[in-house]
Structure 1
């Protein structure tokens, strides 16, 4: 296994070195989603970051973008960043979980009351965000440039039937990220979790390996799941982070001027990505477009409470048992931050 990993990193290095640019500094930035800045939040973040950094550095820094998972699976690219093969990546919580398991604390179902609270908590500037980032950086030696939600609250899609109650989840094979917390959510609701990497999801839905999946509306839209799924049920059960990281040794080796530029550009780019998610959700690229091809239903609050009653205790128990005292303490810090922001 170690030999395979080493070979994979070597091949990535060879591929990337062929694209080297004659700038003083080159930043290779990878992400899973489309390059079009109007199609995904990470596409918007990458485009804005590249524009600001290159235009403000007088040609001293070039940013090379690798969208659409060009450099491998999410967790593999994070490994490349940690190894110094790639300088930076914008990653899902599923990819990050294999390097920093405590990202799973975000997966307590129905913890966030609305997108405003979620935006304030899932941020580098929030009290919880600072705590979370400090622990992640101390554990992984990655430098965190941005913390943002994954595109909004999650909804379920499937090819079998509308999900209107917990009972409707029974027996449905739901694709999840390779996250124990996500698997527990599905199993606690009566479904069959089917963990798969992102690159395999569309085909799995198309061929019936999985009946359905769960993701935010913007991701469902740009992934074209409406082509292989009939029903979309707006449950708003979780909202997870995307985490923008950079190789810490690379970052620390930059001049103070370049560090300031990267910090500023990544902050602006993150806010651009956050705004783009909200625009996509509300525009004809989001739910309205999906509703033209899919049968859409919204889970009412009374039914949401039943979903929460089934899933919340199961996920909390998993976090307490699997991640121990550090996980429980991080989870309680998150819940306290949500409560404080909800009273803001």
Structure 2
């Protein structure tokens, strides 16, 4: 038995390219991807090496996702683009989960939402290791802020160019302007938009704090990246090497689920200390936004996701307080 195991043990050498759509090497996501690369190298005794490319080094969000699907990039941490399959919009359904406990139950290792997403990624040729959660997104603006549909009138905010995030901003009363991450700072600086939306406070504080005054924690989306690999590159590996990459990914994901809430709280305090006003809508204000957004955006989502999938989301969605 021992001889047989030794014969079947992997001796192949591999080099992979791993890209981040956002985050430099010192960001939490950058450090997490370095952890993934280090674990892969360690577990394979140096046979497998991962080259990491940080935000902007290889292109924008859609371009990187295209290259991942084609196999020119082997691995990626990304907000998935819905251009290949609108069902990936599941990841962005607004007000699906309303608190940390519900989010962790949905996105965790055996979570109901993770079990929905895996097969969808497989259909477009991607291996899904799991989510990389950051926390609940908000709306960061300068000059003024809004905590209601009425107050948001006339305010332009940047939205990630992926369904249904722009539609969510519109339903909340804002004018949504889809802009790629690399162009956000200039867009705020020149007044193309009044702020950014749907990110956790870290990104707005770290990259735009000299431009922004307020962060309203609307919690309309649970900000969660996906850890992915091109499926052809994955299938070329033997079982041992697949296990090395998958187990290393799971270690990163497990750590991030522990760290995410603490990390978010840390950056909320840092932003406040730096002079950014942090605003939590009242229960009544949140309930009004939840009601309006679910009424307007969820039917749109059903058109692309299908009734069966949307019914499953409705059955598992958080109940407003």
User: TM-score, normalization: structure 1?
Assistant: 0.83
Q: Distance in 2 between matches of 1:219 and 1:331?
A: 30
Contact persistence 1:164–1:233 (CA under 8 A): yes
Per-residue deviation, residues 239-289 of structure 1 (Å, max 9, x unmatched): 143111111111111121111111100100122233343232122xx0111
Q: Distance in 2 between matches of 1:124 and 1:270?
A: 9
Q: Map of 1:1-344 to 2, 5 A cutoff?
A: 24-36=13-25, 39-40=27-28, 42-93=29-80, 96-138=81-123, 140-149=124-133, 151-214=134-197, 215-222=199-206, 224-283=207-266, 286-291=267-272, 292-321=274-303, 323=304, 326-338=305-317
Contact persistence 2:201–2:215 (CA under 8 A): no
In structure 1, list runs of 5 or more residues that go unmatched: 1-22
CA separation of 1:69 and 1:135: change in aligned 2, threshold 3 A: same
Post-superposition shift, 1:124?
A: 4.5
Q: Which residue of 1 aligns with 2:6?
A: none
Contact persistence 2:135–2:224 (CA under 8 A): no
Q: Distance in 2 between matches of 1:247 and 1:278?
A: 29
CA separation of 1:128 and 1:146: change in aligned 2, threshold 3 A: closer
Post-superposition shift, 1:168?
A: 1.2
Post-superposition shift, 1:332?
A: 2.5
Contact persistence 1:82–1:141 (CA under 8 A): yes
CA separation of 1:153 and 1:318: change in aligned 2, threshold 3 A: same
Post-superposition shift, 1:34?
A: 2.8
Contact persistence 1:234–1:296 (CA under 8 A): yes
Post-superposition shift, 1:133?
A: 0.9
CA separation of 1:257 and 1:107: change in aligned 2, threshold 3 A: closer
Stretches of 4+ aligned residues off by more than 4 angstroms: none
Post-superposition shift, 1:89?
A: 0.6
Q: Distance in 2 between matches of 1:125 and 1:119?
A: 10
- Give the paired residue count: 307
Per-residue deviation, residues 37-75 of structure 1 (Å, max 9, x unmatched): 5x32x2233111111111111111011111123111122
SS of residue in 1 equivalent to 2:164: helix
Q: 1 or 2, which has the higher helix percentage?
A: 1
Contact persistence 2:159–2:196 (CA under 8 A): yes
Contact persistence 2:127–2:234 (CA under 8 A): yes
Post-superposition shift, 1:118?
A: 0.6
CA RMSD of aligned residues (A): 2.0
